[in-house]
């Protein structure tokens, strides 16, 4: 099980932010392992608040910035079809606001790596059809996120 992540960072980042962003690959690989997925391909974009605000308005009708957006290529009940000449399943796109991630890391009292890992796995699980519309769905999704993050050593208390 492997995750190919096409990671693009559209804003300037410092060395600490680069290091935190480096955790994303490890987190998504762990997520694919926990979910027992075949080899998958994900596009992940790190942006500023203005960009994610625009995307949120255009695609969800919500006129404010958010922390993470997911754009799945598959419907939750749709069977994945892999072309004969392909070895990976394309899952979709994840967009993360770095300023929002930094703000939330500070607010929650944990590292930027932990927050970016959380947002990446949250977006990844949305690509797989997880949701948090009901209390039961939220409990399942958030428990899975914590399991994945703990599996790579990104706990809430890490700084």
* Residue set of the binding site: 122, 126, 132
Annotated binding site for Zn(2+): 122, 126, 132
Q: Which single residue is written with the structure tokens 């399991």?
A: 147
Q: Would you call 149 exposed, middle or buried from its count of C-beta atoms within 10 A (0-12, 13-18, 19+)?
A: buried
Q: How far does Cα 77 stand from its chain's mean position? A: 20
Residue 92 has which token pair? 């979709």
Q: Distances from the Cα of 81 to the Cαs of 3, 28, 86, in angstroms?
A: 17, 21, 10
Contacts (Cβ under 8 Å, ≥6 apart) of 113: 19, 20, 22, 23, 154, 158
């Amino acid at each position: 099980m492997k995750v190919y992540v096409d990671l693009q960072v559209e804003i300037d980042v410092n060395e600490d932010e680069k290091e935190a962003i480096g955790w994303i690959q490890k987190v998504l690989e762990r997520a694919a392992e926990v979910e027992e997925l075949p080899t998958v391909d994900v596009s992940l974009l790190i942006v500023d608040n203005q960009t994610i605000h625009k995307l949120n308005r255009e695609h969800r009708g919500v006129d404010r910035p958010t922390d993470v957006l997911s754009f799945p290529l598959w419907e939750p009940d749709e069977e994945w079809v892999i072309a004969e000449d392909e070895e990976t399943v394309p899952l979709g796109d994840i967009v993360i606001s770095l300023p929002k991630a930094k703000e939330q890391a500070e607010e929650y009292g944990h590292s930027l790596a932990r927050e970016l890992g959380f947002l990446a796995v949250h977006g990844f699980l949305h690509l797989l059809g997880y949701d948090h519309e009901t209390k039961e769905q939220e409990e399942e999704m958030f428990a899975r996120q914590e399991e994945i993050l703990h599996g790579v050593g990104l706990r809430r208390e890490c700084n």
